[in-house]
């Protein structure tokens, strides 16, 4: 980690949704290394969440886990109550949790459309609403929403996913205007083709085709996205809000 950013988040408290694996895990670890106490939200493997929390604690910070289905308003309320109880508040929110239910439009069921928007878009909305109450009161906050390059360029077979991630960009810009006067920034990251368990399931031919469209000539790593999240959470990004930062190796230029 850059010396410029090391320990810049000491005393801050960060909530990372879907923080048990992939991009969320990498973000939680980088924020912890920078000194932030971490709440890892998960809905899948508790074992993965606890393992990530243990890695965070190795940096000398507090790290706790909390199960919550962020598509449910009551779960989100309990998640933030638990965050306040265990860590004392919320300074940084990373809306990372997301799912896919891919299919071409004519084969895409209404249930699969709703499921993706419910987690990816409604979940981010519910978390931002809870976080905003706390951040406005304390007159400080950093909200970082994980969107996707798919929101910017579309992708066949992902109408529902693209809609959810494009919606996140719209919410990011709107909320940034609402909270800027309270010293709360709201930004989005748009990762490209990142090496995760999700992309590992793609056929080799599909992976090769996608790589052809990346000027950098390689897939990104979760740590590439985490580094951008760390910057947006840091004091160095205090005058940046309402922005969408692509982390895609030039894929969406």
pLDDT tens readout for residues 204-242: 887 888 899 999 999 999 999 999 999 999 999 999 999
Average pLDDT of the segment spanning 44-55: 96
Give the start-end residues of each E strand in the chain: 13-16, 37-42, 63-67, 92-95, 141-146, 184-191, 244-247
In a domain, 235, yes or no: yes
pLDDT digits (tens, 9 = 90+) for 69-107: 999 999 999 999 999 999 999 999 999 999 999 999 999
Average pLDDT of the segment spanning 172-191: 98
Give me the pLDDT at residue 66, please.
98
Dihedral, CA atoms, 202, 205, 206, 209, nearest 10 degrees? 150
Confidence of residue 192 (pLDDT cuts 50, 70, 90): very high
Give me the pLDDT at residue 2, please.
60
8 A C-beta contact, residue 13 and residue 39 = yes
Overall number of domains in the chain: 1
| Closest to 131 (Cα-Cα) out of 66, 175, 188 | 175
- Is residue 67 part of the annotated active site? The answer reads no
Give me the pLDDT at residue 239, please.
98
The token duo for 41 is: 């939200």
In a domain, 6, yes or no: no
Q: Give, to the nearest 10 degrees, the angle between helix 123-138 and helix 73-87.
A: 40
Residue 51: CB atoms within 10 Å: 16
In a domain, 214, yes or no: yes
Catalytic residue, candidates 42, 80, 125, 161: 161
Check residue 250 and give left, alpha or beta (phi > 0: left; psi -120 to 50: alpha).
Answer: left
Torsion sign across C-alpha atoms 16, 73, 67, 83? positive
In a domain, 251, yes or no: no
Give me the pLDDT at residue 32, please.
98
Average pLDDT of the segment spanning 164-192: 98
Task: Supply the mean pLDDT for the chain.
Answer: 95
Q: Give, to the nearest 10 degrees, the angle between helix 46-57 and helix 22-33.
A: 20
Domain that holds residue 174: 13-242
Q: The domain spanning residue 148 has which CATH number?
A: 3.40.50.720
In a domain, 33, yes or no: yes
In a domain, 5, yes or no: no
The Cα 116–Cα 42 span in angstroms is: 16
Give me the pLDDT at residue 204, please.
85
Give me the pLDDT at residue 6, please.
65
Confidence of residue 4 (pLDDT cuts 50, 70, 90): low
pLDDT digits (tens, 9 = 90+) for 138-158: 999 999 999 999 999 999 999
8 A C-beta contact, residue 63 and residue 56 = yes
| Closest to 92 (Cα-Cα) out of 186, 166, 191, 170 | 186
Residue found under tokens 């230029």: 253
| Closest to 141 (Cα-Cα) out of 26, 14, 228 | 14
Residue 3 has pLDDT above 70, yes or no: no
In a domain, 253, yes or no: no
Max Cα–Cα distance, the chain, nearest Å:
51
Give me the pLDDT at residue 209, please.
84
Give me the pLDDT at residue 203, please.
78
């Amino acid at each position: 980690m850059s010396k410029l950013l090391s320990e810049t988040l000491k005393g801050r408290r960060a909530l990372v949704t879907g923080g048990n694996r992939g991009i969320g895990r990498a973000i939680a670890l980088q924020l912890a290394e920078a000194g932030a106490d971490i709440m890892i939200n998960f809905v899948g493997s508790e074992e993965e969440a606890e393992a990530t929390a243990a890695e965070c604690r190795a940096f000398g910070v507090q790290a706790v886990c909390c199960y919550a289905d962020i598509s449910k308003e009551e779960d989100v309320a309990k998640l933030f109550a638990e965050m306040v109880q265990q860590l004392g508040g919320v300074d940084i929110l990373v809306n990372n949790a997301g799912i896919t239910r891919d299919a071409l439009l004519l084969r895409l069921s209404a249930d699969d459309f709703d499921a993706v928007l419910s987690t990816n878009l409604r979940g981010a909305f519910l978390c931002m609403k809870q976080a905003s109450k706390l951040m406005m009161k304390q007159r400080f906050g950093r909200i970082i929403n994980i969107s996707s390059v798919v929101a910017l360029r579309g992708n066949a077979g992902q109408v529902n996913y693209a809609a959810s991630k494009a919606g996140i960009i719209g919410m990011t810009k709107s909320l940034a205007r609402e909270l800027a006067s309270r010293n709360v920034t709201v930004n989005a990251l748009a990762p490209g083709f990142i090496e995760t368990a999700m992309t590992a399931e793609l056929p080799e031919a599909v992976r090769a085709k996608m790589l052809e469209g990346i000027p950098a000539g390689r897939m990104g790593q979760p740590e590439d996205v985490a580094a951008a999240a760390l910057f947006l959470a840091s004091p160095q990004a205090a005058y940046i809000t309402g922005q969408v930062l692509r982390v895609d190796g030039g894929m969406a230029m």
